[in-house]
Amino acid sequence: MGIFSKPKKQQDSKSANTQEQVFLGENFDVRMKWFKDTFQKSDDITFHELTANQTRCGIVFLQCMVDQQLFDDQVLKYIVSPNFASSRKELFHKLLDLKSISTMCASILTDIREATDLVLDGKIIIFFEGDSRMLAIPLTSVEKRAVGETANENVIRGPREAFVEDIHTNITMIRRKIKSPDLKMEQLQIGKYTKTKVMIGYIEGLCKEELITEVKQRINQIDIDGVLGSSYLEECIDNFPLSPFPQSQKTERPDVAAASLLEGRVVIFVDGTPIPLLLPVTMYMFLQSAEDYYQRYFLSSFIRLLRYAYLVVSLLFPSFYIAITTFHPEMIPTTLLISVAASRDNVPFPGLVEAFIMEIAFEGLREAGIRTPKAIGQAIGILGALVIGQSAVQAGIVSAPMVIIVSLTGIASFIIPAYDFAFTIRLLRFPIMILAGSFGIFGLMIGCILIYIHVVNLHSFGVPYLSPTAPLRPNDLKDVFIRAPWWLMKRRPSFVGSSDSNRLTIKKSISEGDED
């Protein structure tokens, strides 16, 4: 398992993430001093010292994360009321009996360090003199983005909702789709300073226990200052961190995450990011789109085969053009060879340098279109395609066929649904171009063989990266190169190792038809 197989490192990280509990007893002044010393120079922390029924009461909360008006109306007015409780001992019990508090999922605690963490999480901490217990009331009021449409995984017939940055909203969207008590959500906390919530979701009985244990073990081994996105965890839990190929799937669609859970996979949610991680993953999953499962199976199969064809185009087309024009011109038909030679007559650069100039210029235009405001991003793409390309051809810097080759290659890379996998293909295009420009078709084949050797040795949490083709599992090929109809995909993918392989049962055979 690589760097994650060292038990000593696991033990060290666990001890670093464990905080010792602190109990300060019933003394009011000691507890209030703890809070003030802990949050000194933090002007956004509010400290209230009140007298309720001749009993000192302390209230601590974070101003920007608490609905203070609701707290005043639902809780505070009862605390300061002289008729609320008849004695100090009755005060805490009366407060818990309030209908407003009982519906807020309030919690009781005695650990002052835990109370400090809850203040930073947006809870209101209330404690009384002579009582070691503290009450944490969740009245969090934080601005968050509303659920909207997906930005990168658009579909025609499927749902339009997308994950947001709030982890509880994301889990709610999953719970709405999978209404089963077997859907488990285990919470972890990562980050010395950020204390980021991480939820590990899986369906008990479908997901292998070994996979769940391995995921939790790798996450618990991470000792980091802060986690601001799921990519922080992704790089720390990969089996092969030096590989350019992604080893976990990302999505912003709740339906894709729910489908992964139903296959027996694990979903990792990270608070503050709308993109969870799906584990394990195979290479073929990056060529699947949510749209495949909302269209008729023969339409989806055609589009999926088209993606595989354009995957080859995106990876090898420029290299193939460089190889045949530089080393193997006899492979080109005579008429086409004359046309290509005439277009390259005034170009001062060899094919490899010409391809590098165009590819780097295309990547620069792509990045500029992403980073610029949306109002002018499209204009940059049009400007680069029409003006710069045409001007470069007229100036004799590049040939017209090379512009066509690079443009078609760029379009092919956009067809790949997964952005990180498409980026890997774009990155591998450059070393293959160098091999093709140095050794021709032989160099191109050497590059393909090296990539295949690397990919066939990759694993994602114990699952071979090329599964179900290597090793071959014929029953799992129904949803790889094509998408078979739902009534034929009766079993879950076997490479996930789910204990319950049956996914679909049809009481009446489709082939029987309707005899009425």
Tens digits of pLDDT across the chain (516 residues): 343 333 334 444 343 445 678 788 888 899 999 999 999 988 889 898 888 777 888 999 998 888 878 888 877 877 777 766 666 666 777 777 665 565 567 788 889 999 998 998 888 998 888 888 888 888 877 777 888 888 888 888 888 899 999 999 999 999 999 999 999 999 999 998 989 999 999 999 899 899 999 999 999 999 999 999 899 999 999 989 899 999 999 999 999 999 999 999 999 999 999 999 999 999 999 999 999 999 999 999 999 999 999 999 999 999 999 999 989 888 888 888 888 888 888 888 888 998 998 888 888 888 877 777 766 666 666 666 667 777 778 778 888 888 889 889 988 998 999 999 999 999 999 999 999 999 999 999 999 999 999 999 999 998 999 999 988 888 889 889 999 998 888 888 887 776 677 887 877 654 555 444
Q: What is the pLDDT of residue 107?
A: 82
Q: What is the pLDDT of residue 10?
A: 41
| Distance from C-alpha of 137 to C-alpha of 147, rounded to nearest angstrom | 26
Residues paired with residue 472 on neighbouring β-strands, in sequence order? 469
Domain final position from 419, 438, 460 = 460
Residue 500 lies in a domain: no
Domain final position from 257, 281, 305 = 281
The reply to whether 268 and 378 lie within a common domain is no
Domain final position from 248, 281, 314 = 281
The reply to whether 320 and 452 lie within a common domain is yes
| Distance from C-alpha of 143 to C-alpha of 237, rounded to nearest angstrom | 31
Residue 410 lies in a domain: yes
> What does each C-alpha distance from 482 to 122, 308, 462, 477 come to in angstroms?
49, 10, 25, 8
Residue 146 lies in a domain: no
The reply to whether 311 and 440 lie within a common domain is yes
Q: What are phi and psi of 424, to 5 degrees?
A: -60, -45
Residue 340 lies in a domain: yes
For the chain, state the CA radius of gyration: 30
CB neighbours of residue 498 within 10 Å:
22
Total number of domains in the chain: 3
Give the 3-state secondary structure of residue 138: strand
User: Following DSSP, what letter does each residue of 17-81 receive, concatenated?
Assistant: H-------TT-HHHHHHHHHHHTTT-TTEEEEEEEETTEEEEEEEEGGGB-HHHHIIIIIHHHS-
The reply to whether 318 and 425 lie within a common domain is yes
Q: What is the pLDDT of residue 104?
A: 64
Q: What is the pLDDT of residue 16?
A: 40
Q: What is the pLDDT of residue 101?
A: 65
The reply to whether 82 and 126 lie within a common domain is yes
The reply to whether 78 and 209 lie within a common domain is no
Residue 269 lies in a domain: yes
| Distance from C-alpha of 246 to C-alpha of 40, rounded to nearest angstrom | 44
The reply to whether 334 and 212 lie within a common domain is no
Residue 311 lies in a domain: yes
Q: What is the pLDDT of residue 196?
A: 92
| Distance from C-alpha of 261 to C-alpha of 267, rounded to nearest angstrom | 7
| Distance from C-alpha of 443 to C-alpha of 452, rounded to nearest angstrom | 14
The reply to whether 301 and 436 lie within a common domain is yes
The reply to whether 368 and 449 lie within a common domain is yes
The reply to whether 275 and 302 lie within a common domain is no
Q: What is the pLDDT of residue 65?
A: 84
Residue 487 lies in a domain: no
Q: 440 is in which domain, residue-wise?
A: 297-460
The reply to whether 383 and 436 lie within a common domain is yes
The reply to whether 124 and 198 lie within a common domain is no
Residue 207 lies in a domain: yes
